[in-house]
């Protein structure tokens, strides 16, 4: 019989491959889908359903329904009906245990009366402890594939940006015609086709005759096959993917020619393996070369049923009957060897794990089913040839809505730059589809500015023909309320039955959007491609409203499943930033940490020893990641005066000052030091993570206030180190050509000079609380400066220290870190910086909200604390609690080797902020005491800093 079976349009007969399925080797052909090869090898149950674990087999063979999802080479939820077989692929089932053919969890199909729609909103909530247990169980037994968290993709995903005049989505006859016409008139055209060949339904529908449907329309048209468009976004941006590549396509004009899909019907056990969409059977045979069965029944409500029966016969499949729901259907196709049953529908499918036959029954004039005399027809294949619906999800995403007018779907309006042709636009007459596509091609060419002499002629002739757009019938899903029947499946993805929908509507979820959210119909992998029309029809039937009044659920990208790795393509280009001394740190055995995009040494092995060196001798840290900003011009002081909380106009040339700034809501955003190099020249530092943002912030206010000032980022132009410790002056003396004595170079002064022959800017500041110098030099000399300092420091026991040691040192000194000790609700009045806020300035950013906060008084305070148990260090982020309620948090906690105590910073309510107050925080379920301590913990008078 199979002699008449074609080879399969997508299959390469010359290239056999072997795949492995559940440990067995399965022969396949290159180009053939995995599912087709498995079907040929006798596999009928491809997956188990989401909720009831019912057996499911191939259905759409177009990558739209959830019935063929499997685990392929570790990737879950692969649509095997369209995934080409490749040598060595490892394929296994998902959502079944122990096997697809015998799934123990199939018991849920029998328990369905206890699992009605929305059962998880109703059951197992009392007592409360039951819910987490139950949720854990449900998550294991329901659902799709397992994500293998240890699996690493071998292929990197990548992103490609394409720009074109016209992009045609869909390489079927309409798409090719539209592309050709537009190209002939001069447009630059990109044509996207999801299959490996152009041709669309021509490739499998034998009622179309064309010599070679796969020939590209013109070599100048750029054709991308195996490319699926999943989203239409504003600005005519198309999201598409091919293999592991994400495509972002900008097109001046878009024509959508995505065709149509047949609608399924509702009857008892309508999800049984062996029940296919009519197109699915044709695709399996003519694209992949595999027959779907031996003896078929066709169920239809339109003229396509008889055509389909003939095609099946041509494929060598016996046709047992055509069941036509229409009353006016011809009883018998003249000359056809199969019987036709007009006014009949299928009421139930027979069989346990595969179709064995169907029961059909008559519908009377009132469309009531006559259950008295059902007939049984033996078959192993049931082909559903329901009325075609536009595959219009991309158009819906773009904002078009389809209205049913005189039984026909019609787009409600025209969106500039977006066109639709063929079945996707609701045109089902084959001749008209080509004409419409040609018109769209001509329209887009004209819109792009090309001369189209026959445009008016095309428009006129289309207007004349458009009155009848072809096949249309009622949405013949046979919606009816049968409270006893719980096995009429609307949604294959999430196991939603017709009864579920009626029940949800009875419970009040009678709007299509609430119905969707409550029942999860339309929410599965198919995104409504199988169930969308049925859900609307049932909603209309149950509520007595017309289809247009019910509307449809919102269509959002992605229209087809896209791997997250593909969507994330392009997000991996996070540049890595290294300081000029990076390679020295690496060689010295630095333990790295990430600071924004930078790599910074967390330590060189032992932070405690590093702290000791800085406190007792001299230490050196690379601070090149600091934001470094030059601000110069006549209004430089004015800009800083208005942006910072404190004053700058009174800062003398050659002096340095600490400053902090707020946003317009009075929230702390950054702090740092600023040096006045000249009357109109300042040099600022910003925290590492904020370097870029602060430059933008200064630029913003410069532009807003129209100030005459230049903001110049020097962050990467300069390297910087902090030389800190009681012996740092002594050490620097021999290396610098300037006078570093306490009188010539006091605390909070800035000097320019040469260190080891390198011209440097030196700032005497003390973040770590010791005598110290921050030395800035051109990046190119950073390593030379570092080397020279290390060499000169040898007699003084100089040790490089990392960020961790710096954090301990600064915490001992009580210095806060913006972002660590503050968050998006922290204001300077509560953070201990109230002395910095100069309300006597007439204007600075955040003044108004800070004035209000000042009037209200502080509610919380950032305070220093010591642990009552000085041996233990609490985790940062622990909650401060008062009578069991969270009232604050610990922001920084460390063991201080200098003080031999466990110290930290914390936000506590103002009532508990007085020094000596004992407060509690939650740690491992217990309330642990700590005591508010005066800040700073170390060197309170600041003698060491200023020495």
Partner 1 sequence: MSFYLICPHCGPREVYEFRYGGEILDAGVDGQLAKSNQPGWQRERWYHRFGCRRWLFVERNISTHEVRRTGLLEENG
Q: What is the spatial order of strands in the sheet that 681-686 belongs to?
A: 656-662, 668-678, 681-686, 627-632, 710-713
Provide the minimum distance between the beta carbon of 848 and partner 1 in the complex, in angstroms, as a whole number: 3
Nearer to partner 1, 102 or 233 (CB): 233
Provide the minimum distance between the beta carbon of 699 and partner 1 in the complex, in angstroms, as a whole number: 6
- The CA distance from 239 to 569, in Å, is 12
Nearer to partner 1, 75 or 188 (CB): 188
Provide the minimum distance between the beta carbon of 706 and partner 1 in the complex, in angstroms, as a whole number: 5
Nearer to partner 1, 342 or 689 (CB): 689
Nearer to partner 1, 125 or 250 (CB): 250
Q: Does 574 bind partner 1 (CB under 8 A)?
A: no
Q: Does 88 bind partner 1 (CB under 8 A)?
A: no
User: Which of 721, 803, 813 shows the shortest CA–CA distance to 762?
Assistant: 721
Which residues, numbered 836-895, are part of the site for partner 1 (CB under 8 A)?
A: 847-848, 851
* H-assigned helices in 424-486: 430-447, 455-465
Letter string b/e over residues 325-341, b meaning 16 or more CB atoms within 10 A of that residue's CB = bbeebeeebeeeebebb
Q: Does 373 bind partner 1 (CB under 8 A)?
A: no
User: Which of 467, 419, 410, 465 shows the shortest CA–CA distance to 441?
Assistant: 419
Judge whether 169 and 256 are in contact, CB under 8 Å.
yes
Instruction: Tell me the window of 232-240, 306-314, 669-677, 764-772 that interacts with partner 1 (CB under 8 A).
Output: 232-240
Nearer to partner 1, 454 or 596 (CB): 596
Provide the minimum distance between the beta carbon of 594 and partner 1 in the complex, in angstroms, as a whole number: 21
Phi then psi for residue 582, to 5 deg, are -55, -45
Nearer to partner 1, 843 or 883 (CB): 843
Q: Does 575 bind partner 1 (CB under 8 A)?
A: no
Instruction: Write the binding mask 191 to 230 for partner 1: x where contact by CB under 8 A, - elsewhere.
Output: ----------------------------------------
Letter string b/e over residues 405-434, b meaning 16 or more CB atoms within 10 A of that residue's CB = eeebbbbeeeeebbbbbbbbbbbbbbebbb
- Counted residue by residue, the chain has a size of 947
Residue 310 DSSP one-character state: H
Q: Does 699 bind partner 1 (CB under 8 A)?
A: yes
- The CA distance from 638 to 643, in Å, is 9
Instruction: Tell me the window of 260-268, 388-396, 695-703, 928-936 that interacts with partner 1 (CB under 8 A).
Output: 695-703
Provide the minimum distance between the beta carbon of 233 and partner 1 in the complex, in angstroms, as a whole number: 4
Instruction: Tell me the window of 374-382, 620-628, 697-705, 855-863 that interacts with partner 1 (CB under 8 A).
Output: 697-705
Helix-helix angle 512-519:532-543, to 10 degrees: 120
Among 2, 4, 414, 696, binds partner 1 (CB under 8 A): 696
User: Which of 429, 430, 441 shows the shortest CA–CA distance to 177?
Assistant: 441
Instruction: Tell me the window of 31-39, 47-55, 417-425, 694-702 that interacts with partner 1 (CB under 8 A).
Output: 694-702
Nearer to partner 1, 161 or 371 (CB): 161
Nearer to partner 1, 131 or 705 (CB): 705
CA dist 435 to 174, 176, 336, 469, 658, Å? 8, 12, 32, 11, 74
Judge whether 758 and 788 are in contact, CB under 8 Å.
yes
Among 5, 159, 225, 237, binds partner 1 (CB under 8 A): 237
- The burial class, CB within 10 Å (0-12 / 13-18 / 19+), for 592 is middle
Residue 322 DSSP one-character state: E
Nearer to partner 1, 706 or 885 (CB): 706
Q: Does 233 bind partner 1 (CB under 8 A)?
A: yes
3-state class (DSSP) for residue 277: strand
Which residues, numbered 462-491, are part of the site for partner 1 (CB under 8 A)?
A: none
Provide the minimum distance between the beta carbon of 853 and partner 1 in the complex, in angstroms, as a whole number: 13
Residue 590 DSSP one-character state: P
Cα 196 to chain center, whole Å?
A: 27
Which residues, numbered 618-677, are part of the site for partner 1 (CB under 8 A)?
A: 664
Instruction: Write the binding mask 274 to 293 for partner 1: x where contact by CB under 8 A, - elsewhere.
Output: --------------------
- The CA distance from 562 to 333, in Å, is 44
Nearer to partner 1, 209 or 704 (CB): 704
| Binding residue count for partner 1, defined by CB under 8 A | 15
Nearer to partner 1, 215 or 554 (CB): 554
Helix-helix angle 498-506:532-543, to 10 degrees: 40
Binding site for partner 1 (CB under 8 A): 233-235, 237, 664, 696, 699-700, 702-704, 706, 847-848, 851
């Amino acid at each position: 019989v199979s002699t008449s079976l074609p080879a399969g349009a997508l299959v390469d007969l010359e290239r056999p491959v072997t795949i492995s399925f559940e440990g067995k080797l399965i022969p396949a052909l290159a180009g053939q889908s995995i599912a087709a090869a498995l079907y040929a090898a006798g596999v009928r149950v491809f997956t188990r359903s989401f909720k009831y674990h019912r057996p499911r087999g191939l259905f759409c063979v177009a990558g739209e329904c959830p019935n063929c999802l499997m685990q392929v080479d570790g990737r879950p939820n692969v649509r095997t009906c369209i995934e080409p077989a490749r040598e060595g692929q490892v394929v296994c089932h998902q959502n079944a245990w122990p096997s697809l053919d015998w799934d123990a969890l199939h018991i849920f199909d029998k328990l369905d009366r206890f699992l009605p729609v929305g059962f998880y909103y109703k059951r197992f909530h009392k007592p409360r402890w039951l819910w987490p247990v139950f949720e854990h169980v449900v998550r294991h037994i329901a659902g799709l594939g397992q994500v293998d968290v240890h699996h690493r993709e071998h292929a990197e995903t990548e992103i490609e940006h394409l720009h074109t005049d016209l992009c045609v989505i869909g390489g079927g006859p309409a798409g090719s015609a539209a592309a050709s016409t537009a190209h002939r008139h001069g447009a630059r055209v990109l044509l996207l086709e999801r299959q490996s060949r152009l041709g669309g339904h021509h490739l499998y529908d034998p009622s179309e005759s064309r010599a070679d449907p796969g020939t590209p329309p013109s070599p100048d048209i750029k054709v991308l096959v195996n490319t699926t468009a999943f989203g239409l976004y504003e600005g005519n941006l198309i999201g598409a993917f091919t293999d592991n590549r994400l495509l972002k396509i900008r097109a001046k004009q878009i024509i959508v020619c995505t065709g149509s899909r047949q609608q399924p019907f509702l009857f008892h056990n309508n999800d049984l393996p062996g029940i296919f969409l009519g197109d699915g059977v044709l695709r399996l045979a003519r694209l992949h070369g595999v027959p779907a069965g031996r003896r078929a029944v066709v169920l239809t409500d339109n003229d396509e049923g008889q055509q389909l029966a003939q095609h099946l016969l041509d494929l060598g499949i016996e046709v047992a009957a055509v069941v036509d729901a229409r009353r006016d259907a011809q009883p018998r196709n003249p000359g056809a060897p199969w019987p036709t049953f007009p006014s009949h529908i299928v009421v139930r499918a027979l069989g346990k794990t595969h179709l064995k036959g169907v029961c059909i029954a008559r519908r009377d004039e009132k469309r009531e089913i006559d259950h008295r005399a059902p007939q049984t027809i033996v078959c192993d294949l049931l082909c559903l040839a329901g009325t075609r619906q536009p595959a219009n999800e991309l158009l819906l995403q773009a904002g078009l809505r389809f209205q049913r007018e005189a039984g026909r779907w019609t787009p409600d309006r025209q969106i500039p730059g977006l066109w639709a042709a063929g079945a996707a636009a609701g045109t089902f007459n084959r001749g008209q589809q080509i004409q419409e596509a040609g018109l769209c091609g001509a329209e887009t060419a004209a819109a792009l500015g090309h001369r189209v002499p026959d445009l008016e002629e095309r428009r006129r002739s289309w207007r004349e023909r458009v009155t009848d757009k072809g096949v249309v019938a009622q949405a013949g899903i046979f919606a009816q309320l049968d409270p006893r029947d719980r096995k009429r499946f609307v949604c294959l993805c999430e196991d939603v039955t017709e009864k579920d929908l009626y029940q949800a509507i009875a419970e009040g979820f009678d709007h299509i959007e609430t119905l969707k959210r409550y029942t999860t119909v339309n929410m599965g992998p198919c995104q409504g491609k199988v169930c969308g029309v049925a859900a609307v029809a049932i909603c209309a039937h149950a509520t007595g409203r017309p289809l247009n009044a019910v509307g449809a659920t919102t269509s959002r990208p992605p229209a087809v499943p896209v791997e997250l790795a593909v969507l994330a393509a392009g997000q991996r280009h996070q540049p890595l930033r290294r300081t000029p001394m990076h390679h020295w740190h690496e060689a010295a055995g630095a333990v790295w940490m990430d600071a924004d995009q930078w790599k910074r040494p967390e330590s060189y092995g032992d932070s405690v020893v590093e702290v000791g060196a800085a406190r007792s001798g001299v230490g050196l840290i690379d601070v090149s990641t600091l934001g470094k900003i030059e601000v110069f011009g006549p209004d430089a002081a004015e800009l800083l005066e208005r942006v910072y909380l404190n004053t700058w106009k009174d800062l003398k040339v050659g002096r340095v000052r600490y400053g902090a700034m707020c946003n317009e809501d009075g929230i702390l955003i950054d702090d740092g030091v600023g040096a006045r190099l000249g009357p109109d020249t300042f040099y600022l530092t910003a925290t590492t993570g904020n370097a870029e943002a602060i430059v933008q912030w200064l630029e913003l206010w410069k532009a807003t206030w129209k100030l005459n000032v230049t903001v110049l980022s020097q962050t990467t132009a300069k390297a910087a180190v902090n030389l800190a410790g009681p012996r740092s002056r002594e050490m620097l003396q021999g290396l610098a050509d300037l006078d570093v004595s306490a009188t010539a170079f006091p605390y909070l002064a800035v000097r320019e000079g040469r260190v080891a022959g390198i011209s440097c800017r030196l700032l005497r500041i003390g973040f770590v609380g010791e005598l110290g110098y921050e030395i800035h030099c051109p990046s190119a000399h950073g390593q030379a400066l570092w080397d020279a300092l290390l060499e000169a420091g040898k007699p003084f026991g100089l040790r490089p220290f990392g960020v961790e040691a710096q954090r301990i040192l600064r915490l001992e000194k009580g210095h806060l870190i913006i972002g660590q000790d503050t968050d998006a609700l922290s204001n300077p009045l509560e953070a201990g910086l109230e002395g910095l806020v100069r309300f006597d300035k007439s204007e600075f950013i955040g003044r108004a909200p800070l004035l209000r906060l000042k009037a209200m008084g502080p509610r919380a305070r950032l305070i220093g604390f010591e642990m009552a148990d000085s041996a233990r260090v609490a985790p940062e982020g622990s909650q401060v609690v008062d009578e069991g309620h969270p009232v604050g948090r610990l922001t920084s906690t460390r063991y201080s080797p200098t003080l031999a105590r466990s110290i930290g910073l914390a936000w506590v309510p103002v009532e508990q902020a007085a020094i000596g107050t004992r407060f509690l925080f939650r740690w491992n379920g217990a309330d642990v005491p700590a005591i508010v301590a005066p800040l700073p913990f170390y060197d309170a008078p600041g003698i060491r800093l200023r020495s």
